[in-house]
Amino acid sequence: MRGMAGIRNIVILTGAGISAESGLRTFRADDGLWENHPVEQVATPQGFRRDPELVQRFYDERRVNVLAAEPNAAHRALARLDSEWDGELLIVTQNIDDLHERAGATRVLHMHGEALSAWCLACDARHRWTGTLLDGPACPTCGEIALRPDIVWFGEMPYEMERIFAALARADLFVSIGTSGAVYPAAGFVQQAKSARARTLELNLERSQGSGWFDESRLGPASELVPAWVEEVLT
């Protein structure tokens, strides 16, 4: 980045790579499996209909992992940016963990849902959930046994798209951190930002699929790249 002159509005997209150093596995490991399961089995509405117990057990395990993980230096650096940046800032995360929030960031939006949230299919209520769903607990709002993980699966609409596109349309700077660029619509945000004339920066372990859209790519671990970039922005 060559200075921050003229930059007020920042949109940051984060993916599994920012939480990798907190011990949470990324999705597209070399074997194409997510924690030993094909993605279609545990991340589609069809998979849930076919075998609800397997899917509930899978997310019960994810919830335990998320609760056990701790934010790393990259989450902490973004939280620092959030508290010290007085222009607009939106951290759009594809991650279902709460490590941005636990590091102290507040301007965070979970476009793919949250591991620590349960969604009632009977009454549409959402509840913070740290326990299990496999045992079929009743919804605290309506009493029905109809809770599912509050996760956006393939084939479902990501959350808050209007707010995200509005922020991208105003963005002066778009930064993508720890995401492979394999899953739309998030993978297309860089193009949206570019058409709004934003500068674009990628911080990732390796080049993402949309790498060619970025003005600049810095390659390395998020725990090193993100604190260094935030330091540049704030000084």
The string over 205-232, giving b where at least 16 C-beta atoms fall within 10 Å of a residue's C-beta and e elsewhere, is eeebebeebbeebbeebbbebbbebbee
Token pair for residue 123?
Answer: 């009454």
Is 204 an interacting residue with respect to ligand APR (CB under 6 A)?
A: yes
Is 221 an interacting residue with respect to ligand APR (CB under 6 A)?
A: yes
Contact pattern for ligand APR over residues 7 through 26, marking x by CB under 6 A: --------xxx--xx----x
> Which 42-101 positions form the footprint of ligand APR (CB under 6 A)?
43, 94
Nearest to 159 by CA among 223, 90, 222, 94: 94
Contacting ligand APR (CB under 6 A), which of 47, 71, 149, 178? 178
Contacting ligand APR (CB under 6 A), which of 22, 56, 176, 179? 179
Q: In the bound complex, what is the minimum distance in angstroms from residue 154's beta carbon to ligand APR? A: 7
Q: In the bound complex, what is the minimum distance in angstroms from residue 113's beta carbon to ligand APR? A: 9
Which residues, other chains included, contact 97 with Cβ-Cβ below 8 Å and sequence gap of 6+?
19, 22, 24, 66, 69, 115
In the complex with ligand APR, the residue whose CB is nearer, 149 or 221, is 221
CA-CA-CA-CA torsion sign (26, 32, 34, 39): positive
Cα 79 to Cα 137: distance, rounded to the nearest angstrom: 34
Query: Which of 75, 100, 110, 112 is flagged as catalytic?
Result: 112
Is 208 an interacting residue with respect to ligand APR (CB under 6 A)?
A: yes
213 phi/psi in degrees, rounded to 5 = -80, -15
H-run or E-run covering 218: strand 216-219
Q: Could you confirm whether 110 is annotated as catalytic?
A: no
Catalytic residues: 112
Contacts with ligand APR, residue ranges (CB under 6 A): 15-17, 20-21, 26-28, 39, 43, 94, 112, 178-180, 182-183, 204-206, 208, 221-222
